Amino acid sequence: MAYPLFSLEGKRALITGSSQGIGFALAKGLAEHGAEIIVNGRDAEKVDAAVAELDAAGHNAHAAAFDVTHLESVKEGIDTIEANIGSIDILFNNAGMQFRAPLEDFPEDKWQLLLQTNISSVFYAGQSVAKHMIKRGRGKIINIASVQSELARPSIAPYTATKGAVRNLTRGMCTDWAKYGLQINAIAPGYFKTPLNQALIDNPEFSGWLEKRTPAGRWGNVEELVGAAVFLASEASSFVNGQTIHVDGGITASV
């Protein structure tokens, strides 16, 4: 029976930015495969609400509200989890943001915020968790990249830059940490129905363009990311390292 390869029973997963959207879908999906979940976000009320929803569904979940864009907050948050909840077996670096503006007019403060949220947080959380994982000789780190790790569209060049950096940081983490028994990979979602994309979802012109541009002919649903997430979080991917898996309906495969 192949199922045990994909079981997450006895594993504990921290998912950054998981009070809503893709992060919460991943939390539910991992929980359904047996993982104990640690929900993270900056808004404690949203985090608590997400934990309550997971608890109500019969899952084992904990709240960990801290800001992944600040190194000291991350260090303190990770150490508190390790000491009071237990070892982190799986880390999903999911926290991210988007801001759209013409590149020639892109505000410097938004540039800095994108860097902190989309790439610095991956480094901060990845490094802090890896220090514990290295001591144990095992661990899974999955970074959320994007089709924008490969592609570009008008008005989002800084976002594209940060997601390209996530892909290469994934490779770098693998190169440094695989020798300690860690597997570090990334998932690159295409266009999914999330709060981050609501303005685009509500735009008939953009949605029409996307459906024609994507071979699958539609937006993705966040639940469709769970399969790749479980694969990378489980023993099924024990020799997969430094890779980025695109879950995008074929958009990066087609011109």
Every domain of the chain and the residues it spans? 3-249
Exposed / middle / buried, residue 149 (Cβ in 10 Å: 0-12, 13-18, 19+) = buried
Inform me whether the pLDDT recorded for 3 exceeds 90: no
pLDDT tens-digit readout, 217-246: 999 999 999 999 999 999 999 999 999 999
The second-level CATH assignment, the architecture, of 3-249 is 3-Layer(aba) Sandwich (3.40)
Spatial separation of the C-alpha atoms in residues 114 and 97, rounded to whole Å: 7
Give the residue numbers annotated as catalytic, written as ranges: 159
Q: What is the pLDDT of residues 158-187, one digit of tens each?
A: 999 999 999 999 999 999 999 999 999 999
- Residue 235 exposure: Cα atoms within 13 Å on the Cβ side: 9
Has residue 2 got a pLDDT over 60? no
Report d(CA 94, CA 251) in Å as an integer.
Answer: 21
Q: Name the region of 7 (left: φ>0; alpha: ψ -120 to 50; beta: rest).
A: beta
